[in-house]
Structure 1
């Protein structure tokens, strides 16, 4: 016994901390909530406005006449105007950004109608391009007539040839000894006279002007230049500088040297020695690439190398 009067000192028992075995329910509920939100978002992204799609199909069908039957589908519930809305099946798994949404579920007739619509659009664009090319060819011909009028007054019409290609109107100046001396890029008095007749018409145009220098195929050594590349580029630059000095804006001009890589006629032709040695002043077209590709066909006979036609001759 102890001296404490026979009372035992009670011990304090330590109990194990209570473990909550239902905490997983909180995480599970959070996961379900997130999944629900995900499905709502996915559903909202894939929902298609059938009424608007039916209106689009109806508009296409009425626009293409005989193909209208291709867009007929099942009659759906009444729309706001009291008419039965047309239902067209759409594949919700298709990517709307790839241009193929719903195409796999269209009927053969509907797919044929879509092809017909695309073909009609292509034909309309081709017709528009052809009309633009025809109008541009007429405008370029008028420019040729004005330049020819000035050359004819100076009795120089025979010194220049014309072509209409996909670039625009090409005014070809044969660089014989009258224009440039052999192996030289300095304009002779005869060359300045030709450019004086051409410049007034070019100044009034909105088009950009490109000057191309070309040499013939002869392998003669270029005394003052390393090769035909430098000689052809120098002649083009000299021509540009002269035209700028006579009123053409610098930002409209460009100079290119082609050496002997772009012969005007077959190098085997005896005339090529003089005709391939030339400077081309090109009035660049403002058409798009697709429209410009049709320019030679629209120009007809003017697409081939020819002597300039004056306004009087064109009137006849």
Structure 2
């Protein structure tokens, strides 16, 4: 046998090169799709609620609990959550009320929410009377101290929906015209009211006001004048009478919130003032009743 002939033969033990399958990924992909399809079928199957079976299960559980405890089961007499029905009511309008929005009229002809009930409940009225009595007590304490010092007419008290207002009318008793410098009388009044204001727990708003007469010189407008008056009162209460700075604030309203309209002598005198407002922390519904239930 020649070498050339022998070299052409395949050696014993040699194998053909294995054919590479380039489409093997299709098998894995098909397996994944099959698994996903099975998962979706299972999810779809368990999402279908058989109401009859759930009702039967509920009744069976209720009967079993009643037999063991001898008392009525919490599942008896109620549809529970096993009946497959939604817990959301069919209508958002509660029985006996008009709801927040009328289904036919929306927010009404003017596009606003319906007004609250005219008659407040007894609990709200009782809370308003209690809060009004508290504010009246504060007023009485300050008034007695002012009367004792001969300054009983220096402060005008009133109760509104915000709380108790101490009106320091600036008819040359507290401030001169177009000035934020406090008089000696003004400082005495603040020193008398200061201990009570320091001891109350409510926030206090010091609010400066001016009349409609234009100002000149130091202040560009009545806004600056009213704000400076409020600031001077606040500083005296904090620095001299030790009212906590965390409970007091100052704001100027210019001539935008008059107590008396017009330019009469009374209007010009009354509107030039600083108000100390002891802000009630009662709920809004309670505060709305304060003017009506406060004593004169």
* Fold shared, TM-score > 0.5 on shorter chain: yes
Q: Deviations over 1:289-310 (max 9, x none)?
A: 33322322332x54xxxxxxxx
Alignment pair present for 1:81 and 2:82: no
Distance 1:22 1:170, change over 3 A: closer
CA RMSD of aligned residues (A): 4.2
Within 2, Cα distance between the matches of 1:237 and 1:252?
14
Alignment pair present for 1:238 and 2:232: yes
TM-score, structure 1 normalization: 0.66
Alignment pair present for 1:26 and 2:31: yes
Distance 1:230 1:26, change over 3 A: same
Distance 1:4 1:144, change over 3 A: closer
1:256 counterpart SS class:
strand
Distance 1:166 1:16, change over 3 A: same
Contact 1:167–1:292 (CA under 8 A) maintained in structure 2: yes
Aligned 1:99-138 pairs, distance under 5 A: 101-104=87-90, 115=95, 126-138=121-133
1:157 counterpart SS class:
coil
Shifted more, 253-262 versus 75-84: the winner is 75-84
Structure with the larger helix share: 1
1:190 counterpart SS class:
helix
- How many residue pairs match? The answer is 259
Aligned 1:1-20 pairs, distance under 5 A: none
State which of 237, 259, 284 in structure 2 corresponds to 1:289: 284
Shifted more, 197-206 versus 267-276: the winner is 267-276
Shift of 1:28: 4.0
Within 2, Cα distance between the matches of 1:273 and 1:186?
18
Alignment pair present for 1:218 and 2:204: no
Structure 2 residues not aligned, in runs of 5+: 100-115
**Other-structure match for 1:199:** 194
Q: Deviations over 1:102-157 (max 9, x none)?
A: 312x9xxxx99x635999xx99x954433222211000001110011011112211
Structure 1 residues not aligned, in runs of 5+: 55-73, 95-100, 303-316
Within 1, Cα distance between the matches of 2:280 and 2:245?
18
Within 1, Cα distance between the matches of 2:29 and 2:227?
83
**Other-structure match for 2:113:** none
